[in-house]
Amino acid sequence: METPNSTGDRIAQYLKDGKRFDGRKPGEFREIFVETGVSKKAEGSARVRIGKTEVIVGVKMDVGAPYPDSPNKGNLMVTSELLPLSSSRFESGPPKFPAIELGRLVDRGIRESKFVDFKKLCIKEGEKVWTVFVDIYTINHDGNLLDAAAIGALVALKTAKIPKYDGETGKVIYGEYGDEMMPVSKEIPIVTTVHRIGDSILVDPTLEEEDISEARVTIGGSCEGKVFSMQKGDSGDLSIEEMHKILELSENVRKEVFSKIDKFFK
Amino acid sequence: MAKDFKRPDGRGVEDIRPMKAEVGVVPNADGSAMFSFGNTIAIAAVYGPKKMHPQHQQDPKKGTLRCNYNMISFSVTDRIRPGPSRRSTEISKITEWALEPVLMIKNYQNMVIDVHINIIQADASTRCAGINAAALALAHAGIPMRDIVSSVSIGKLDKQLVVDVDKDEEDWEEGEGATDIPITMTSSERLTHIQLDGKISNDELKQVLELAKKATKKVYEVQKKALKESLEVKE
């Protein structure tokens, strides 16, 4: 909305020739930078930068009651805050739709891929299970917060240690850890978003590109070609051929992103 | 695809549950409709176009579509706490995005069209029933539209693709479990909405799109019939 029409028109014109302002190809990501251990108070945390976009993600854990429909599984809660600090577009106050959407898309990316083995987070069936809180905070918004947040959530979970729990008092001893790490799978699910601008299809938009995006599809999946979660966003439509292209591009991009963040999973 | 695959309720893999559609179910509204897939029943009412309040939400470039999806507290087995949730907020927005591509509301500057969708009885695929009812209600309200949208959920139960997922199928746990893929298309085969939860390959997804193409045509016929019937003069 806040990108002037003249800029938007030029972006679209460039894309017709397969070009972007920053010299990237339409299917190419910006540099991805990942750092772990952002907060010592968190069970696990990560900072992710994609170009100028930056988010921090932290994992906190607590013991609580399981949901009635999953008495032997731990709980997952993903929330996000679009901090006013990170962009003049964000205002303080109760979460609006974009913050809810960000949290839910990351939530489903983790949940549906079975990245965390929630059965191992059960302490006593039907009574006590671990709840895993994944909290996402934006630090600088230059487009594609979602993909950055999803990477951050993966790395934060992967590096998270489970705090000690005193079964007698029923209290979590925060700050004291045993050897127990978050039970995560070897297969790393990646969540990426593909955008359509005019007839062009691209990934990892900058803020300006994101502003003129007509439709987007967020796809979570493995590098082995499986898709676990998907959601189309924005009010543009897509032809079935475009959807085929998006599915194929997304599969390639998952591999590219994985190769860039692979070292954090070793 | 296995032909001998048994769905919990005995349907064929491409069978949609019995559909019902009716327009004009809320006399007060400017347009309204009911749409059901078997035991999943949605009603939708349209109010507007009317002036957008508060004023700062007005869009001087085009009209605004505002959808509100809500599940009635007793529509499901475990009572739902009344009021908006993160899930309902997301479905409301998804519904707006599914409908907007066919609405011609460029000339309704500073105005809003409110669409209220309520799920009276839920047996999975509620967002699809809601979108179908909303599309009918918008047409019934006389909002200019270049097409209508039709929505259906495609499921993958273990390795079998099925059309129109019900609650028993949504909770499928055998083999690869259940993958739920609600899809909305225009009658000219443009995709306006797709979501997915589960596990599936790209090749299977291409088959899903083909199934959705066929299934949304069937939904479209039911919607068209309901709209035509509403225009017939009753003796």
pLDDT in tens, A95-131: 899 999 999 999 999 999 999 999 999 999 999 999 9
The stretches of chain A forming alpha helices (DSSP H) are 5-16, 97-113, 145-158, 207-212, 240-261
Chain A residue with the nearest C-alpha to that of B185: A237
CB-CB under 8 Å, B196 with A244: no
The string of pLDDT tens digits covering residues B16-61 is 999 999 999 988 889 999 999 999 999 999 998 999 989 999 999 9
Q: CA A178, A152, A188, B197 torsion: positive or negative?
A: positive
**For the complex shown, is ipTM > 0.95?**
no
The string of pLDDT tens digits covering residues B179-228 is 999 999 999 999 999 999 999 999 999 999 999 999 999 999 999 999 99
The answer, for A245 touching chain B at a CB cutoff of 8 Å, is: no
Residue B10 lies in a domain: no
CB-CB under 8 Å, A226 with B200: yes
Residue B6 lies in a domain: no
Residue B4 lies in a domain: no
- Note the pTM of the prediction, 2 decimals: 0.86
In chain B, which residues have their Cβ closer than 8 Å to the Cβ of A108?
A: 197
Residue B13 lies in a domain: no
CB-CB under 8 Å, B100 with A235: yes
In chain B, which residues have their Cβ closer than 8 Å to the Cβ of A97?
A: 89-90, 93
Residue B193 lies in a domain: yes
pLDDT of residue B4: 73
CB-CB under 8 Å, B189 with A240: yes
The CATH code of the domain that includes B118 is 3.30.230.70
Residues of the domain holding A44: 5-265
Number of separate domains in chain B: 1
Residue B219 lies in a domain: yes
User: What CA–CA distance (Å, rounded) separates B13 from B3?
Assistant: 8
Number of separate domains in chain A: 1
Residues of the domain holding B217: 19-226
Which residue of B146, B195, B204 to mutate against A (max A Cβ within 10 Å)? B195
Q: Across the interface, which of A112, A229, A232 has its CB nearest the CB of B193?
A: A232
pLDDT of residue A41: 86
How close does chain B come to A177, measured CA to CA in Å? 33
- Tell me the pairing of strands B111-121 and B64-71: parallel
The CATH code of the domain that includes A187 is 3.30.230.70
In chain B, which residues have their Cβ closer than 8 Å to the Cβ of A228?
A: 196-199
pLDDT band at A132 (very low <50, low <70, confident <90, very high): very high
